[in-house]
Amino acid sequence: MLRLLKRRLIAFPIVLFGMSLMTFALTHLVPGDPARLLAGPHASAAQVAELRHQYGFDQSLPAQYATYMGDLAHGDLGMSITTRRPVTEDIAQFFPATIELTVAALLLVALIGLPLGLAAGLLKGRMPDHLIRLLSISAVSMPVFWLGIVLQIIFYEKLAILPASGRIGELSIPPAHVTGFYVLDSLFAGDFAAFGSALAHLVLPAFTLAAGSLAVITRMTRASVVETSEADHLRAARAKGLSNGLVIRRHVVRNALLPVTTVFGLQVGTLLAGSILTEVVFSWPGIGLYAVNAISNLDYTAIMGVTLLISAIYLAVNLVTDLLYLLLDPRIADAQEAMA
Amino acid sequence: MTPEPVLRDDANRGQLIDELLRTPMSRRDALRRGGMAGLALTGMSTLLAACGGGSTASGSGAQQLVMSSGATPVTLDPMTSLDGQSPLLWRCVYETLLEFKGSSTDLEPHLAKAYEYDTKANRLVFHLRDGITFTDGAALDAAAVKLNVERQMAVNQGIAYALAPIKKIETPDASTVVLHTSGYSDGLLDGFASLYGLYLISPKAIQDHKGKDWAQSWLRSNMVGTGPYQLENYALNQQAAFTKHDKYWGGFSGPHFERVVVQYVNDASSERLQLERGTSSVAFFLPDDDVYAMRDEQGVDVLNRPAFTTYYIGLPCHTGPTADKRVRQAISYGFDYDTANKHILNGTATQPHGPLPHTFPGYDASLPRYEYDPDRARKMLADAGHEGGGFELKYIYESGYYWKRPFGELFQANMKDLGITVSTQELSPSTWAAKLQDKSSANEAYGVAWWPSLATPFDFLWTLFATSAQGSSGYNFTYYSNKTFDGLLDQATSEVDKAKRMALYQRCQQIVVDDAPYLYISDVNYLLPMASSLKGAVFNPMYLNVLDPYELHT
């Protein structure tokens, strides 16, 4: 396990360096003048030139990259040209919103997807199984933006029980930053009105974001349960006289969850990436919406910052998933040791 | 929202209690279920109560105004940007020395109680109102104005270009500011009143956070002004909330909102839904099609007023067949203006005589107008040596401007009738700008909109036509150049006599109509969907995409 950890930790900065180089090259290949865009149509040439100088766009590309990497080594991601703030400050503000949304979506995936998959697997070929599979296919087939709008129409316009967009209601003041999660921060502040508002605002975007992953996890769990249920050792366990409930708890669930863990880990990355569309539809002020604005304004530093952040998270989540895998199934660790 | 959710909560509570009473259970079960039910009920009631209470557009007793915007602001610092979205927030907190009166371009004193512009002595004097304070307690006096002018010139962004003639500032007493200028410059006074004008920031805030950047890093997310509202909280890309400034010099005795919230709603359908449901009272930056559709919506009024916004199609004047003035004139006769204005823009625009909008100072209705006449266009093309067209042209437009694509398609169809092959391409805004700014690569036709920041024809004529405004220097991406025009424009902007100045601007317009570097297509009304219950909105076309919340009430 240590060997794997060491190998991955060495690869980590190399992959990030590659990502930074690729993102820098790609964003700068696109012809564009962010300084003119930012200055606005009424700005004079002197004003545009001033901005260009201020953000270092008047330097050569290698010089710009070298400056960027030098600053990055000191934890400085540069200044965003759209928000005119340090990118680190922007990320510190927007990223918790995305994490809050992703965690809520993951909770929904785990709390709904796993039981549904388990039920479908155990009741294979029966009506609940067909129904769950139909729901899964529908959920995975629905585009996020469409599902989001439909949910808004049903729960906001028609039923009037949930808000349409944003992170908190206009009557509430965003809570003081502790974790950056409004649901938690409002509780810490003892502001229950803000807590309720933040929770209500979280429901529709979290469900919209979760829908696709929920279907994947349900299907995966079902397949895994079906496969595990047909294993020989289960027949032996039943022959020993173990109750069905015990067999399911001890043998089916535990073994079936092993491959699901990997997929679950990968879904974190999928949800983070998928949050972009969800954030746009629900005006959720997270890193996805920030990235969209950055891309349309060709905000180089913001694009770089977001890409590096998402890449780092993706790498970290994959590493944690692999380690978890080793913990859940010691045979894999043994096999790795043997190979070494 | 309605109180319905609360009633549902009560019903749920009743059902759960019934169930608990009816079902036999052990003490442990009862405790577990009771605890869970309690948690669920508390969560549910908090959630629903929050949902029900957080969505009323005007709050209880019409104390709160909620406006939504589909575009986010760049900065809260009014001296550092010329973007179209930030002024909505600036004008809640900051004020200018002068203002445009009502819906006109006439200037009137605002924070200044009077002003004199001695054009012979090149001296502009402001006499300030007494007793005005910023929300941090600092006084609005001559020193505060001087510091603000100095900051604006030092940061050299925003309206700084219009204040460039100012050479020296004197403060003979606490309520008098004397600005010495290098000469007369048309539009200088507008720099103290416009949408991007010199908004006055607390001198204490500037000094306390001055640093090396004149407090730019602090003021981009903080505001301290003299206006009717003060910033309560600001969450970028999310919302800005303002509460009333208790010591506002204008007072709060009339029907004014006590709290103003601007919410940023990125998705157009959500923004529209919120206005229709009454969660917000105004929806800024909605796509045109959504606004047209809302005209018949119950509970929503769409403000529809003449504005100073114009839409053109620019033609490359430095390269290709359109470098020939006769070809540009032929193309101008070959475009179907009525279809553009009546059908694409839904009858909310008319074809102007020349580049200026019809309600703008200096507009000349006697100028000839290119009417749609394909036969004449074909003949003119033949006379210019392009019998049956036979050349190609590319039309580029940037994403996000809803009218540019259909205009391009109409242009493509109309030019096909003349034998000119037009291809169209959508680009990102920055790519579009970068392509056109480079003279060597700018050889396309393009859709362009303009609205002025100063109430003078110079604003349109220099930016779009002057040789010195070519490429990134201004907005002249056609690379049109006419020395006679440039000379007349220079004379006009420094001409003190208004009648002579306007006559010079008129001659400038005659030249650019005849030379036809652009197709002058649309003089567009401003449309803004608002809740029918909202009263007091005064739209001034110089203050585009802005409403003064102090004037609004229900």
Are B237 and A172 a contacting pair at CB < 8 A? Answer: no
Per-residue model confidence (pLDDT) at position B24: 38
In terms of average pLDDT, the best of A259-263, A307-311, B327-331 is: B327-331
How many CB pairs (< 8 A) connect A and B? 214
pLDDT at B352: 97
* pLDDT for res B309: 95
Residue A331: pLDDT above 80? no
With an 8 Å Cβ cutoff, are A36 and B437 in contact? yes
A interface test, pick of B267, B310, B450 with most A CB neighbours within 10 Å? B267
Nearest to B360 by CA among B541, B238, B547: B541
| For B269, nearest residue in chain A (alpha carbons) | A149
Looking at residues A321-335, what average pLDDT do you find?
Answer: 73
Q: What is the rounded end-to-end Cα distance, in angstroms, of chain B?
A: 18
Nearest to B265 among A165, A195, A198 (CB): A165
Contact B94, B228 (CB under 8 A): no
Residues 423-452 of B with CB under 8 A from A: 428-431, 433-435, 437, 450
Average pLDDT, chain A: 85
What pLDDT does B530 receive?
97
Q: Do B74 and A42 touch (CB under 8 A)?
A: no
Measured distance CA(B342)–CA(B338) in Å, rounded:
6
DSSP-based three-state secondary structure for B303: strand
On whether the pTM is more than 0.90, the answer is no
Residues in chain B, overall count: 554
Confidence (pLDDT) at A46:
78
pLDDT at A339: 61
Length of chain A (residues): 340
Give the closest of A160, A173, A298 to B1, CB-based.
A160
A293 touches chain B (CB under 8 A): yes
Contact A33 B472 (CB under 8 A): yes
Q: Does A37 touch chain B (CB under 8 A)?
A: yes
User: What average pLDDT does range A317-333 have in this prediction?
Assistant: 75
- Note the pLDDT of residue B62: 52
Concatenated DSSP letters of B194-248: STTS-B---HHHHHHT-TTTTTHHHHTS----SSSEEEEEEETTTEEEEEE-TT-
Calculate how close chain A gets to B52, using CA atoms only, in Å: 7
The helix/strand/coil state of A336 is helix
- Subunit contact B220:A40, Cβ cutoff 8 A: no
- On whether ipTM exceeds 0.90, the answer is no
Q: DSSP per residue over A19-88, as a string?
A: HHHHHHHHHHHS---HHHHHH-TT--HHHHHHHHHHTTTTS-HHHHHHHHHHHHHTT---B-TTT-SBHH
Asked if A82 is an interface residue toward chain B (Cβ–Cβ < 8 A), one would say yes
pLDDT for A83: 85
Q: Cβ contacts (< 8 Å) between B157 and chain A: which residues?
A: 39, 43, 47, 50-51
Rounded-to-integer distance, Cα A16 and Cα B236, Å: 28
Question: Of B87, B433, B162, which is closest to residue A47 (Cα–Cα)?
Answer: B162
Min Cα separation A279/chain B (Å): 9
**Closest chain A CA to residue B60:** A171
Residues in chain B predicted with pLDDT less than 50, given as ranges, are 1-61
Q: Are A163 and A169 in contact (CB under 8 A)?
A: yes
pLDDT at residue A94, rounded to an integer: 92
Which chain B residue shows the shortest CA-CA distance from A160? B1
For chain B, the maximum distance between any two Cα atoms, rounded to a whole number of angstroms, is 101
Q: In chain B, positions 30-69, which contact chain A (CB-CB < 8 Å)?
A: 43, 46-51, 53-56, 59, 64, 66
Termini Cα distance of chain A: 11
Q: Which of A84, A152, A162 sits opposite B74 (nearest CB)?
A: A84
Cα–Cα nearest to B203, from B230, B226, B221: B226
**Of A45-59, A151-165, B7-21, B118-132, which range is least confident?**
B7-21
**Is residue A105 pLDDT above 90, yes or no?**
yes
Q: Residue A231 pLDDT > 50, yes or no?
A: yes
Minimal Cα–Cα distance from A177 to chain B, Å?
Answer: 11
Please say if the pLDDT value at position A195 is more than 80: yes
Q: Which of residues 154-213 of A touch B (CB under 8 A)?
A: 156-157, 160-174, 192-200
Nearest CB among B81, B274, B276 relative to A40 is that of B81
Looking at residue A1, what is its pLDDT?
A: 65
